Every structure is written in C-alpha cells, then in structure tokens.
Amino acid sequence: MGFKRVSAATGVVALTGALLLTSAPTASADYIRDKQWVIDVMNFKKVWSESEGQGVTVAVVDTGVDGSHPDLTGQVLEGKDFTGKGGGVHSDFTGHGTGMASLIAGHGHGADGSSGVIGLARKAKILPVRAGTGNEFDDNQWAQGVRYAVDHGASVINLSFGDSLARPGSEGAKAIKYAQEHDAVVVASAGNDGAGQLEYPAKLPGVISVGAVDNNLTLWENSNYGTGLTLTAPGVKLVQADPTESSGYAEGTGTSDATAYVSATAALIRAKYPNLTAGQVINRLIKSATFLNHDVKKAPDEEYGYGIIRPYKALTMDIPAGPKEGPLAQASPSTSTNSGTASGDNDSTSKVKKKKKSSSGSIFLIAGVAGVVVVGAILFAVIRSRRNRGSGGPGSGGGIPPQGTGYPPQHPTYPPAQQPYQSQQHPSPYTQQPPHQGQ
C-alpha cells in the first residue's frame, strides 16, 4: 500500500467572463455552451433522440464530485469518501472529479438547460467515489471504491487516472475483476505521456482503455498509444464544471476527459439496451467506432484502437449482441479494419513501434476554427494541474508537472466581459467519410 502521484492532463484554463450572452438570437445564449465543440461534432440532440442515459448509474472514482454545481444538481448520488481526509465525497478541492461528472451527465442550467455544461448522457446518475484529494491516490482506497460502486448499483465505472501499482494481482486489479464479474463496464484513461504503452489500470484485461483526439479528430500528441488501446474520443479543449474556479468552469485537455465521453456512451447504450451484458456493450462501442480518413491498416491500431467513438451509431447500428464476455475477452487480435475482435494482450509490456504521424486531412478541419479571431483584451488564464492521473516520478508523463512547466506554450484567450462571444459552428466530421470498420 502506498501513495502514487497521479498524472496531469496538461494545463487547465479557468474561464472568466463565463456567462457572456451572444447577440445572435439563433445562436446559443451562453458563452460556456458555445465553447463545447463536441456538441456539434457528436450531434448530441440526435443522440438524445435514442437515449439520454436514463436509469443508468455511472461511478466516477476520482477526487469527489460537487453535486451543488448548477449543472449537476439532482444528478449526483450520495456516494462515499474513502480518503479519510475530511470534507466528504461531495467536496472536490481540485475540480477534476466534478469536471468528469459534468462531461458525463451535466444537464446545464437556466431556461431549458441552455446554459452551462451539458453532458453526453445527461439523464444518467453519478455515483461519486472519492479516492484522492490532490495529486495522489491510494491504491487500496480506490480499489475499495470500485467495489463500493459495484455494490451500490453502478453499471459503468469511470477511472480517469493511472496507477503504476495496479498491475495484475494488485488490489486495484482484483477490484476491477470484481466489477467485471458483476457486469460493470470499466473505462480507464490511457495516459498523457505521449508514450508507446498504456498506463495501469487501463492496461488490465477487459478494461476499455481510452486515448484522446483533438477537435480535428486527430490523435492528441500527448495521448498514450500502443498495444491494448481500445478506443479514442474527444479530449482536447473541453469546457467542464470546476467548483474551484470563481466562474465555476475550466477548460481541460487529456485522456481523462476522453474517458468520460466513452463512459457516457456506455451509459447511453446500457439505457437503450438494458439486456446487454457489459461485454456486449463494449462490443457495440467497438463495432460502431470509425477511423475516418486516418491511414489505418488493421484494427486494433496502436494510435486509435478500434477507432473514434460514434455515440449515435453505437445506439442505432444493427450489431449482433455477440458473446456475453465481449470482444476484449477474446484472445486473437484482428488483422482487418472490418473485424471487431479485440486483443486480450492488455498486459503486454513489449515495446511498440515508433509513433507514426497521424493523418489530418483538411476535410476534417473544423470549419472556421483557423480563422476565428477573438476581439478584446486578453485575460490570461490561471494554470493549474488537471490530472489524467498516471504513475508519478521523473520521466513519467503521468506525473504532475511543477507550476509553469509541462504545459503548452500558448493558452486559449477569452473575450472581456463587455465583448459578446459569437458561436462557432462546427460541422460534424463524423458524417464526412464512411467508416473503415463497423458497417
């Protein structure tokens, strides 16, 4: 037993002037909502015509979840604090757990929920499990938290952290196996090192390991890759709830955030198809994913896994249920991008080939992003550590960098309070090319 440093997800930027209104009557009436580029790319409204995650409980094993945030009121269950540090499970001194919860099940606020952060599975419930208070998690505590989540009805478990001690045979690994034996979908972040191997617990058998793509749907440069990667999802410049900021919001980047979107998609599937096993839910996630125009020769790919998630397709495609244990329990890796069979070698520690360059054809550029100029005074944001938790120590991209290091050299700028922010329209790259797999 011991404390491990958890990984940072690059810099997190506080959003000031957060409740600016636009003057365009047809645009969103909220600055924060306008910044959520994923809404257009995934077409949340279309997804919600099939499922909103109702009746599903997602456990967020993290730094606690502040259920009093206006975008999460009524969504957060009682949960439990395993840290023994005081404050309770609904205290979140870093904002990380609350941020993940908002991406999963935020419902916004104001008239018809039109303001603030909206989550992909906005009617799912969040079971908060507090297993860390800062940049360290205790392996026994989060393992207890996973078991608690299973015993209290969570059918999806979000682990947006890494723990180098969570190897096979560890308490964490045993807890995850317990969750899998009780039909829970376990989702974990691959890590933010830009390294050719995954963090634990994402590397454990049967866990959905998640990498991050940017708003061009191209692999984020610091996303871990390699053998055992399952899926990728948006994880760059994502606005989320953050009770530690005066505005209540921050913008974060990392595989933590991508993991939250995969957990949300799993919740959507579980709500629509309640008779599917956890393995069969994973099967739908894998079979409906896409590589878009990326030069992928076989699946799983070391950079994209089985592809980028497509929530609407995961809900609507004609996909046979498949074996109850699901594809991640099968032993043989696929040799074709049309295959949905996953590798069981999530424990492999072999070296992977040097990271190849991702394709990023201009057809997938989000319209208008390159040409947008924000007019007005620049408010420099407050940089804090945003974990996608990983093993700590020198050389580990999972370690939290010291203040002023380890972050991108430039940070997003925001308009001053008196300057209206115009909504950016992002056409969905998901609709521009046929998928390479899953159909």
For 264-279, write each residue's pLDDT tens digit. 999 999 999 999 999 9
Q: Give the closest residue to 305 by CA, choosing from 218, 398, 210, 217.
A: 210
In the predicted model, what is the mean pLDDT of the chain?
Answer: 77
**Which residues does residue 186 pair with via DSSP β-bridges, in sequence order?**
157
Q: Copy the structure tokens of residue 185.
A: 């979908």
CA 296, CA 217: separation in Å to the nearest integer? Answer: 14
Q: Copy the structure tokens of residue 236.
A: 């760059």
Residues in the chain: 439
Most confident of 82-86, 221-225, 333-337, 355-359: 221-225
What is the pairing mode between strands 238-241 and 231-234?
A: unpaired
Q: Copy the structure tokens of residue 128.
A: 């908060």
Expressed in angstroms, the distance from the first to the final Cα of the chain is: 46
**Structure confidence at residue 183 as a pLDDT band (50, 70, 90):** very high
- 123 Cβ neighbours under 8 A, 6+ residues apart: 52, 53, 54, 105, 107, 271
How many Cβ atoms sit within 10 Å of the Cβ of residue 437?
A: 22
Which has the higher per-residue pLDDT, 279 or 420?
A: 279
Rg, C-alpha atoms of the chain: 20
Active-site residues, by number, are: 62, 96, 256
Q: What is the pLDDT of residues 118-147, one digit of tens each?
A: 999 999 999 999 998 877 778 899 999 999
For the cut 50, the answer to whether the pLDDT of residue 403 exceeds it is: no
What is the pairing mode between strands 156-159 and 185-189?
A: parallel
- Domains, the chain, ordered by start: 3-362 (3.40.50.200)
How many Cβ atoms sit within 10 Å of the Cβ of residue 356?
A: 12
Q: What is the pLDDT of residues 8-54, one digit of tens each?
A: 344 455 554 333 222 222 234 589 999 999 999 999 999 999 999 99
Q: Copy the structure tokens of residue 75.
A: 């969504």
CA 108, CA 48: separation in Å to the nearest integer? Answer: 15
